[in-house]
Structure 1
C-alpha cells in the first residue's frame, strides 16, 4: 500500500500516477479540504485520512510519496523512518522512470527565469524533439511521464530536495544560495546542504565558484559558471 502524504498539486499528481498503475493508495492531509481533493470529489473517500496526521495507518504502508509542503520532521515521516518505510518524492520517481535527458535547476533566486530561458533555447534547437519544462515551475513532473520528450528541464525547490535522497541526472545546476526558508530549514548551513544535493548525483554539475569552494565534497564533474571548461578541482 502506498500513502500520499500531502494532497495539493503534487499529491493529486501522485494519485493520477498511482491510479494508472492500479496501485492501492491511501491519502493523508492535515487539512479537511486540501486543494487536490477538488479533482477527485467523486472518489470513494474510504482511503482518505483528512483533518489530521494519523500514525495508525502506517502498519498498512509500504511506501510514502511525500509532497513538498510536508516538513521533514513531520510526525508521520519521523515514525516512517523509524519503521524503515520507504519515502519517495515525485522528482525521484520521475528520474527513475523518464527516458529523457534531465536538467535539474535549483537556487534561492532565479530558478523559474532560468528554467524558462533554457527551455526556450532548447525548444528552438531541438525543433523535432520535445523539450518540456516542469517541476516547481508549474506542471508536476509525474504528469509528464505519459508524454515522450527528449529533454526535461526541471525546476527543483529546497522543499523537494529536502526529502530526496538520490537525484541522478545529466546536468545539475545550483544557481545561488542565500538566506531563505529558514523557518522551514532552521539554519542557513542546513538550507545550503539541502540545495547542494542537486550536485551529488549528476553527470555534470554547475554552480558558482564561491558555492563550490564551500562544499564538503568536490569532484571532477563539477564546473563553475565562470569557466565551464575547467573543473574546480584543478583550480584549487
Structure 2
C-alpha cells in the first residue's frame, strides 16, 4: 500500500464500465479514501450501479474537486491533452488510469498486448491457451473485464489487452513480456499525428522484461532496447516453414502445427497465433503443450468470424475492422474460390482509404458501400455501389450469389452512425446472414 501513502482525496473522471470498476476497487482498499466522481455527460452509463454514498457531479467539469484532489483517475476515453486535465497536471496533481492502479496491486506475472490491430484476438487466444495447461488466468483490460476486476490472490497469470489510451496514463506496469503487434493510422481524432500515437504505444515497454515484436514492422521495436523475440512470415524465430508443399507455424524453423489444421480464418491470424505462442514461452509454457488447444480455437466474435457456410457460400463477420488496416489485414488473409462481396462504410474517422484501391484491383470483388462515409469508398473499385444501410446492401447481394462466393462485412470504419457499437453491427450482419442463407 506504499503507493497510497499521502493520498486521501481521489477524483475519478468518467464513469462507464471502467470508471465503475475504479470506484468499486477504491472502495475495497483498506485505506480511508474520500472518493468523488465527475462525468461531463448528464446521465453516463454505469450511473445506476454507482454507490449512492459517492459524491457525483455530472454534465460539466468540476474543477474545484479536481484541484483539491491528491490523485485523479481518468477514463481511457479522456485524453491527457484535455485542458482541464492539463490544469490538474500543472498543479502537480498525479493523473493515472485504471491500468496504473492495477500495476500497483498485481501480485502475479503479467503479459500485455498492444497494436493497432489484432490485439483482442491475441489476448483472448493467449488466455485460452494458458488455461488449457491448467493455469488460473485473468484476461481483460481493453477487452472484456476491466483490469481492476481481475485482481485476485489465486491468479497464476494476467493477460491484458492495452490500448494507446490506457498506456498514456500507465507508467509502472511490470511485464514478463509485452507484445506490440503493428502500427497503422488510427485515432487521428485523438492524436496530433502518427508519432504522437506511436509514442503512446511505446509505453508498453517501459517496465517489460521482453518485447515480442513484428519483424515486418519496425515501429513495433522498442525505442530503448530490451531483449526481443520476433514473429513474422519467414523461418526466423517464430515464423512459418513449408515442408512437402504444406505450410506450418514454426519456431526457429522447426514445425509446430500445420496451418491447414487451424480453424482460424485469415492469414493475419497465423501471426496472431505466433504471438500467443511467443508470449506463453516467456512465462514458461512450451509451444508444444498448447498446440491441441490452438487447433480448436475458432477466434473472437466479430473478428473474421465465419457465421454461416451454406450452399458453399461463406458469410464472414469482421465487424471489428473499424479502421483501414484491419480491413487490409482481413483481405490479405482470404483464400477465395469465387467472388468476394465486400461491405464497407460507417464512420471513417477522417481516414484516407485510397490504400484499398490496389488491393481490391487484385481481387474478384464486388464492393458495397453504406453508412455515413460510404461515399469515401465509391471510387475505389469499378463495381462499387452505394447504399444507405447494410441491410439494403445485403438485399442487393443475395440475388448475385453463386456457389464459392463469400460475403464479408469488413467495414474499415466505426459503427456509431447506425449502430450502438461494432458488436451490434456484427450481430445484425449475422442475423441477416442466417436469414438469407437459409
Compare relative contact order (CA 8 Å, sep 6+) and give the higher one, 1 or 2. 1
1:166 aligns to what?
A: 172
Deviations along 1:105-126, one digit per CA (max 9) or x if unpaired, are 011111111111111111112x
Q: Secondary structure at the match of 1:153?
A: strand
2:127 match:
119
TM-score (norm 1): 0.88
1:73 corresponds to which of 81, 86, 99: 81
- In structure 1, the partner of 2:286 is none
Residues 115, 216 of structure 1: alpha-carbon distance in 2 compared, 3 angstrom cutoff: closer
Q: Which has the higher helix share?
A: 1
Task: Say if 2:214 and 2:220, in contact at 8 Å, map to a contact too.
Answer: no
Matching of residue 201 in structure 1 with residue 207 in structure 2: yes
Post-superposition offset of 1:161: 1.1
Instruction: Classify the secondary structure of the residue corresponding to 2:171.
Output: coil
Q: Distance in 1 between matches of 2:111 and 2:170?
A: 16
State the 1:74 CA deviation.
Answer: 1.6
Matched residue, 1:175:
181
Compared with structure 1, are the counterparts of its residues 59 and 180 closer, same or farther at alpha carbon in structure 2 (3 Å cutoff)? closer
Tell me the distance in 2 between the aligned counterparts of 1:54 and 1:35. Answer: 19
Write the deviation string for residues 5-25 of structure 1: whole angstroms up to 9, x where unpaired.
Answer: 111111000110111124210
Counterpart CA distance in 2 for 1:136 and 1:215 is: 22
Displaced runs of 4+ in structure 1, greater than 6 A?
Answer: none
**Does the Cα contact within 8 Å between 2:67 and 2:88 map onto a contact in 1?**
no
Aligned pair count? 226
Q: Secondary structure at the match of 1:53?
A: coil
CA-atom RMSD, angstroms? 2.0
TM-score (norm 2): 0.49
Alignment of 1:20-35 (within 5 A): 20-21=28-29, 22-35=32-45
* Distance in 1 of aligned mates of 2:101 and 2:190: 24
Contact 1:54 1:76 in 2 (8 A): no
Specify which of 86, 90, 97 is matched with residue 82 of structure 1: 90
1:9 maps to: 17
Of 21, 30, 53, which residue of structure 1 is paired with 2:61? 53
Task: Establish whether residue 43 from structure 1 lines up as the match of residue 49 from structure 2.
Answer: no
State the Cα distance separating 1:209 from its structure 2 match: 2.8
Is there any run of 5+ residues in structure 1 with no aligned partner, and where?
231-236
- 2:190 maps to 184
Cα displacement (A) at 1:62:
0.2
- The one of 129, 135, 151 equivalent to 2:141 is 135
Deviation at 1:138, TM superposition (A): 1.0
Structure with the greater alpha carbon radius of gyration:
2
1:2-60: CA deviations, max 9, x gaps? 000111111000110111124210100101111121212x6046x21110012122332
Instruction: Tell which deviates more after alignment, 131-140 or 208-217.
Output: 208-217
Larger CA deviation: 53-62 vs 131-140: 53-62
Cα offsets for 1:108-147 (capped at 9, x unmatched): 111111111111111112x1x3112111111001111145
